[in-house]
């Protein structure tokens, strides 16, 4: 306890770190406030039907990722998912389209151009999703909920919803630049955490009544939740170390090299990005179906039930594929082999150059497969929790996107705080002084 108090004191002794934390908290407060600002022309006292619609199912997931803004008919109702969807499209284009491949090789200037294209694409997606969201409001809420209607209300609401998401995106970028942690990931995490007290209270109330098996069952659920949480941390931090031998060099009277070091290759090098990407795409059928209207076909209906077989099968397959895709984007065996060769290093038993590239690529493929399968299993655990009688909202914390985002983002943020402490010769947050996050590249959305 004393160590924890001393660490908090040290954090606030560092002016830059203190400023970054306060800036981050300020932007988060602005975001949470905006999640409760209802669209102009809608009576906030008439949202009961919308809240009931988002109590469970895929719409419940969408509401959780928006921090409750979806069920509040808020100006931030569409959340940050349109930006995530645009990012997916742009990254996929980076594989297939030469123009985007060229931009990726241009360094900072290319990155700025890609970010600009992503923003334009986000606006395009929002202009499609905003009318669909309004159509859902018209179909769900009673006529008395609308103080305004007609073309003016529709056009103004589309503009407000689009601007709201772009503002949330801007908040995330400001947190990344001036605050602590990855801004957009933090905003998603805060939205998830905001639902945790209500979900736990609903589950505890249900168990306390005796209908759900009593408080003993609640205790068992909490133990299982703790185990899944620890397993998720182990998955995020698991690495395989590849030995690298450095040749001896003699310069003057001093000897350099001749020592063995290790390259830590992460079992889950992609972090939580595959599950975020897959989840964003799983919302697409529901968006196209008008958020579950009467005309929803059998295809969209199958993807509206996230306890169903087809939803979880497709979700798991997409996570595995996105894990390989994002690992390929993040890890470059060619560059690693060249760096080793320049520094006089080699992997024992493997020839430098092409053989080293093939060896590293083979190792990454072998460790990524079980990592991706394990990630997919954790992602679909909430479905099994709900089949076991756990409240739909509380079940989302038994794995899935919610838990993995919480684990990944918390570790990344703590890693950045610890880096500031160690850089100024203060003790870190743990006795070892090392918190293993997903890495700076993996943390970015």
Q: Which two tokens stand for residue 311?
A: 């939803």
Query: How far does Cα 90 stand from its chain's mean position?
Result: 17
Dist. CA 326–CA 195, nearest whole Å: 29
Name the one residue in this structure whose structure tokens are 């700076």: 440
- List domains and CATH numbers for the chain: 14-200 (1.10.3370.10), 214-445 (1.10.3370.10)
Alpha-helical (H) ranges within 142-255 are: 150-178, 183-208, 215-237
Q: Which two tokens stand for residue 177?
A: 């630049």
CA-closest candidate to residue 187, choices 37, 74, 79, 77: 79
> Do residues 153 and 114 make contact, with C-beta atoms less than 8 angstroms apart?
no
The radius of gyration computed from the CA coordinates of the chain, to the nearest angstrom, equals 24
Residue 254 β-bridge partners: 251
If one counts every other C-beta atom within 10 angstroms of the C-beta of residue 125, the result is 20
Q: What is the pLDDT of residue 166?
A: 93
265 in helix, strand or coil?
Answer: strand
Q: pLDDT tens per residue, the chain (445 residues)?
A: 666 676 777 777 777 888 888 999 999 999 999 988 999 988 888 888 888 877 766 677 778 878 888 888 899 988 888 888 888 888 878 777 888 888 877 877 888 898 899 999 999 989 988 988 888 888 888 888 888 778 888 899 999 999 999 999 999 889 988 888 888 888 888 888 888 888 888 888 877 776 556 778 888 888 888 888 888 778 777 777 777 776 655 445 555 455 667 778 888 777 777 877 787 777 776 666 554 444 455 656 666 667 778 888 888 898 888 888 888 877 888 888 888 888 777 788 888 888 888 888 888 888 888 888 888 888 888 888 888 778 777 887 776 677 777 887 887 788 788 777 777 665 555 555 555 554 434 444 5
CA-closest candidate to residue 199, choices 392, 342, 433: 392
428 in helix, strand or coil?
Answer: coil
If one counts every other C-beta atom within 10 angstroms of the C-beta of residue 168, the result is 28
CA-closest candidate to residue 391, choices 64, 65, 52, 56: 56
Q: What is the pLDDT of residue 200?
A: 83
Q: What is the pLDDT of residue 443?
A: 41
Predicted model pTM: 0.74
CA distances (Å), origin 418, targets 25, 26, 162, 425: 18, 21, 37, 10
Dist. CA 255–CA 248, nearest whole Å: 7
Q: What is the pLDDT of residue 161?
A: 93
Dist. CA 417–CA 122, nearest whole Å: 31
Dist. CA 344–CA 338, nearest whole Å: 10
Packed helices 273-282 and 309-330: angle between N→C axes, nearest 10 degrees: 140
Q: Which two tokens stand for residue 256?
A: 């350099």
Alpha-helical (H) ranges within 209-305 are: 215-237, 273-282, 284-288, 298-304
Q: Which two tokens stand for residue 14?
A: 């560092």
């Amino acid at each position: 306890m004393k160590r924890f108090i001393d660490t908090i004191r040290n954090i606030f002794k560092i002016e830059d770190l203190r400023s970054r934390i306060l800036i981050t908290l300020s932007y988060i407060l602005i975001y949470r406030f905006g999640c409760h600002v209802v669209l102009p022309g809608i009576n906030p006292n008439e949202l009961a039907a919308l809240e009931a619609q988002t109590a469970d199912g895929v719409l419940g997931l969408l509401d959780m990722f928006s921090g409750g803004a979806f069920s509040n008919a808020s100006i931030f109702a569409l959340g940050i998912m349109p930006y995530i969807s645009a990012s997916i499209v742009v990254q996929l284009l980076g594989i297939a389209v030469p123009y985007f491949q060229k931009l990726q090789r241009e360094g900072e200037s290319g990155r700025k151009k890609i970010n600009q294209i992503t923003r334009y694409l986000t606006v395009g997606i929002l202009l499609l999703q905003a009318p669909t969201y309004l159509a859902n409001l018209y179909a769900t809420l009673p006529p008395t909920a609308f103080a305004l209607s007609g073309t003016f209300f529709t056009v103004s609401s589309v503009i407000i919803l689009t601007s709201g998401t772009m503002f949330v995106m801007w908040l995330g970028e400001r947190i990344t630049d001036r605050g602590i942690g990855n801004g957009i990931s933090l905003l998603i995490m805060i939205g998830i955490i905001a639902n945790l007290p209500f979900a736990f209270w609903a589950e505890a109330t249900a168990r306390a009544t005796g209908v759900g098996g009593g408080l003993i069952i609640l205790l068992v659920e909490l133990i299982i939740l703790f185990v899944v949480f620890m397993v998720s941390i182990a998955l995020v931090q698991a690495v395989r170390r590849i030995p690298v031998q450095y040749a001896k060099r003699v310069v003057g009277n001093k000897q350099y090299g001749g020592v063995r070091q290790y390259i830590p290759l992460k079992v889950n090098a992609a972090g939580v990005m595959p599950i975020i990407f897959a989840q964003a795409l799983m919302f697409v059928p529901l968006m196209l179906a008008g958020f579950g209207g009467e005309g929803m076909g059998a295809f969209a209906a199958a993807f509206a039930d996230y306890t169903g077989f087809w939803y979880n099968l497709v979700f798991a397959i997409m996570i595995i594929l996105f894990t390989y895709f994002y690992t390929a984007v993040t890890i470059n065996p060619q560059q690693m082999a060249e760096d080793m060769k320049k520094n006089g290093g080699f992997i024992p038993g493997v020839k430098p150059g092409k053989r080293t590239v093939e060896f590293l690529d083979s190792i990454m493929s072998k460790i990524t497969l079980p990592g991706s399968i394990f990630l997919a299993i954790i992602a679909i655990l909430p479905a099994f929790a709900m089949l076991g009688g756990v409240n739909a909202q509380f079940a989302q914390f038994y794995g899935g996107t919610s838990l993995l985002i919480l684990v990944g983002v918390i570790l990344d943020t703590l890693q950045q705080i610890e880096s500031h402490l160690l850089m100024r010769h203060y003790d870190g947050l743990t006795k070892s002084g090392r918190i293993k996050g997903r890495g700076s590249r993996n943390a970015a959305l």
